[in-house]
Amino acid sequence: MADLLETRVPRNKTAQPTLVIAACRLVLSLGVLLAACFLLTQASQAQTKIPLLFGENRNEKGEMIPIPERFTKIFTAIEKDLGIQFQLQIYPWNRAVKMASTEGGLIFGLSLTPERADIFNFSEPVVYQYLWLVTRKDRQFKFTTLEDLRGKTIGVVRGSKYGGEFDKQKNILFRADDDIDAYGPRLKKVINKQIDAMIFASPLTEAKEVESLINTIKIPTETDANSVKTMRFSVLPVPVLKDGIRFAILKNQNEALINDINRSLKKYQSNLRKRN
């Protein structure tokens, strides 16, 4: 029994320092981890939070479509450069524009028009979008100037502005059909001949590319199945206009923020050109 005790005691004495060292290392590791988490939390809290109004877009099922990556990349670059954090507030476009026009706050996606220039400070264009006319394949028409829209019904997004002359001629030269910013229901109106064409905004610069994209979009299932299978869409070769998409904020609200965004955009676009 004594021999057994003698062999056990040294083992415990040897193991004890090892366990203490291991415990110390674990505590040290946890301490480093907690410190890192604390620093990250402090950095996050130090960022200035900026509410950003953005227009929602939904698919044919009414589900929200994620914000396009070409926008989120730019948002992230601006946040990193300016040390801010955008807090997205996503609403139907018409409501978002009304909120920006009355309650104020930064909004993204506005086109610069003479009327809006009276009340908003605008950033430089973030990206450009082309406004295309989408028709049924069997109902194409010639389009080179706005005069070619005389007497026609054109589907537009409720609350959107498309440029001075186009907006002036709405419901004068042609009839505007206002609808929600959802492709499916608007394409359904084209198929059912409720409208002659609809406006489709895209960064793509070639009509055939836009046409290929349009023909992959599903329209609501209640549309006659045979029509969906046989009727395809066409995109007229000349865009209505090239539209600069911008940030905007009410005048006298935070002009410095727009100036900061412009400087950040200039840096971002310069870096893009270098990479390309």
**Residue 97, both tokens:** 């524009």
Both 137 and 265 in one domain: the answer is no
What is the CATH classification number for the domain harbouring 208? 3.40.190.10
Task: Express each pLDDT in 45-57 by its tens digit.
Answer: 457 999 999 999 8
Both 251 and 120 in one domain: the answer is yes
d(CA 260, CA 269): 14
Residue 222 above 60 pLDDT? no
Both 210 and 231 in one domain: the answer is yes
Matching residue, tokens 């996606």: 109
Contact between 78 and 126 (Cβ < 8 Å): no
42 occurs within a structural domain: no
172 occurs within a structural domain: yes
Both 111 and 193 in one domain: the answer is no
Both 59 and 85 in one domain: the answer is yes
Contact between 112 and 244 (Cβ < 8 Å): yes
Both 234 and 257 in one domain: the answer is no
Contact between 85 and 49 (Cβ < 8 Å): yes
Which is nearest to 191 in space by CA: 203, 183, 180?
183
Cα–Cα distances in angstroms (integers) from residue 103 to residues 53, 96, 100, in the given order: 11, 10, 6
pLDDT of residue 18: 59
User: Cβ contacts of residue 169 below 8 Å, gap of 6+?
Assistant: 146, 149
Contact between 204 and 227 (Cβ < 8 Å): no
Number of domains in the chain: 2
208 occurs within a structural domain: yes
pLDDT of residue 7: 34
Question: What range does the domain containing 179 cover?
Answer: 128-241
pLDDT of residue 219: 79
Matching residue, tokens 């989120």: 72
pLDDT of residue 67: 92
pTM: 0.70
Q: Please state the φ and ψ torsions of residue 213, each to the nearest 5 degrees.
A: -65, -45
Contact between 250 and 100 (Cβ < 8 Å): yes
Both 231 and 252 in one domain: the answer is no
Contact between 262 and 130 (Cβ < 8 Å): no
Both 163 and 179 in one domain: the answer is yes
* Sign of the alpha-carbon torsion through 231, 177, 71, 268: positive
Both 208 and 258 in one domain: the answer is no
Task: Identify the burial level of 228 via C-beta atoms within 10 angstroms of its C-beta, where 0-12 means exposed, 13-18 middle and 19 or more buried.
Answer: middle
Both 116 and 252 in one domain: the answer is yes
Q: Which amino acid is at 117?
A: A
**Residue 25, both tokens:** 């290392």
Helices (H), the chain: 2-46, 69-82, 93-102, 114-117, 164-169, 183-191, 207-214, 225-230, 255-275
1 occurs within a structural domain: no
Both 268 and 209 in one domain: the answer is no
Cα torsion 188, 192, 194, 195 to 10°: value is: 70
Both 123 and 250 in one domain: the answer is yes
Q: What is the mean pLDDT of residues 205-221?
A: 88
Share of the chain above pLDDT 70, in %: 78
pLDDT of residue 164: 73
More confident residue, 251 or 10: 251
pLDDT of residue 19: 53
